[in-house]
Amino acid sequence: MKPIIRVENLTHTYGENTPFCRSAVKDVNMEILEGEFLGIIGHTGSGKSTLIQHLNGLLKPTSGRILLGDRDIWAEPKKIREVRFRVGLVFQYPEYQLFEETVYKDVAFGPKNMGLDEQEIDRRVRSAVAFAGLGEDLLEKSPFDLSGGQKRRVAIAGVIAMEPEVLILDEPSAGLDPAGRRSMLENIRSYHKEKGTTVVMVSHSMDEVAENVDRIIVLANAGVVMSGTPHEVFSRAQELLDVGLNVPQVTQVAMELVRQGVGIDPAAYTVMDLRNALAALKGGRPNA
């Protein structure tokens, strides 16, 4: 797979030339591959939010470059809006950005800014709302009459409706109840599968990331400390713990079993992995 976004030596300093000067992101190099489901994890204040706001040009690097395709997104600052249509960013708690009278109008805000015609907007709104897991009967309702979870889905639909090549979600399941979390993640997963577009999910929940993504980038102290498949990352459990992160619960169980002398892979990160490993140990056939 070839990279769709490349980050080169990105540094961002807040409050430059003031006593409060602080680098939120320092010399970061990373790639986002076309069509992958990438997870970015890091503890609070590790620079996750600052990093992703660079990917669609909301923040301008203090130094370094962001390449979308092969072009530096800041090559033509006047055309930065186009970058934002190609890289859709859903903020944390996006339900607080809703403003229109109806769900339909709110979801249509992005496509309208793109200058599309009515018909295309209509198609996109309907398809986006479906991807976000909302019924068409909600379209004419006021977004302020919906529940918290539904509001968030409307906000996510508002970004999906721009049909971006890369969809970035900052903690999409934060503050939802367990059932809400599960169905939110399911919707995101099926969006990724059906659309085939690149999805980046920022989270600090290891379990969520482990079960969904193809590849993980770990941020700590304003820089990338690890990147690789979930298996590669979770086999370095001690390093994760050192930077204030955790490993998925399943991995914790596997590690404890290994410590007690059971001969399995300590980096099992899904329930299915661990089950298969244990079944294999008993001489049974691993089944999927």
Of 76 and 99, which has the nearer Cβ to other proteins?
Answer: 99
d(CA 246, CA 236): 11
Count residues near other proteins (CB under 8 A). 23
Q: Find the binding residues for other proteins in span 21-80 (CB under 8 A).
A: 53, 56, 58
Closest approach of Cβ 182 to other proteins, in Å? 25
Whole-angstrom Cα distance, residue 15 to residue 228? 33
Between 73 and 98, CB nearer to other proteins: 98
Instruction: Tell me how far, at minimum, the Cβ of 259 lies from other proteins, in Å.
Output: 44
Q: How far is the CB of 77 from other proteins (least distance, A)?
A: 11
Q: Cβ closer to other proteins: 101 or 242?
A: 101
**Contact stretch for other proteins (CB under 8 A) within 124-132, 154-162, 194-202, 278-286:** 154-162
Beta carbon nearer to other proteins, 9 or 113: 113
- Residues comprising the chain, all counted: 288
Residue among 91 and 234 whose Cβ is closer to other proteins: 91
Sign, Cα dihedral of 18, 22, 28, 34: negative
CB of 278 to other proteins, least distance (A): 45
**What's the token pair of residue 38?**
């990438």
Site string for other proteins, 78-117 (x = CB under 8 A): ---x--xx--xxxx--x-xxxx---------xx--xx---
Residue placing its CB nearer to other proteins in the complex, 2 or 60: 60
Long-range contacts of 146-154 (CB under 8 A, 24+ apart): 146/103, 148/95, 148/175, 148/176, 149/176, 149/177, 149/180, 149/184, 151/95, 151/98, 152/93, 152/94, 152/95, 152/176, 152/184, 153/184, 153/187, 154/95, 154/98, 154/103, 154/106, 154/107, 154/129
- Per-residue binding string, other proteins, 158-177, x by CB under 8 A, is xx--x---------------
For the chain, count helices (H), then strands (E): 11, 10
Q: How far is CA 224 from CA 17, 28, 145, 257, 267, in A?
A: 25, 6, 41, 30, 21
Q: Which residues bind other proteins (CB under 8 A)?
A: 53, 56, 58, 81, 84-85, 88-91, 94, 96-99, 109-110, 113-114, 144, 158-159, 162
